[in-house]
Amino acid sequence: MTAPTNEITYVRPAVIDVQKNGMQNLVSPAATFTGLAAIDAMPLEEYRTRFNNEPGFKEKVDALESARKVSPKQYR
């Protein structure tokens, strides 16, 4: 059995720390997550917005969560 969908994607932007002297330090690079990892990495406010406004998002989340309940190790 394969994961029902990895269509949920979340792109976490890079975090850059700008010091007083103008130097910039990369705190964490940009990263792209799919499936359950996207849901876990997504900030709550974005999750709420997508859940309430993006067509099909709730169904995708439900399918991924159902698959996680069936076989947790298989979908990590």
Domain boundaries, the chain: 9-75
User: How far is residue 26's CA from residue 58's CA, in Å, rounded to a whole number?
Assistant: 34
Q: How far is CA 31 from CA 20, 53, 69, 74, in A?
A: 27, 24, 26, 22
15-42 pLDDT per residue, tens? 999 999 999 999 999 999 999 999 999 9
Give the residues across from 32 on adjacent strands. Answer: 11
Overall pTM > 0.75: no
The residue ranking higher by pLDDT, 23 or 7, is 23
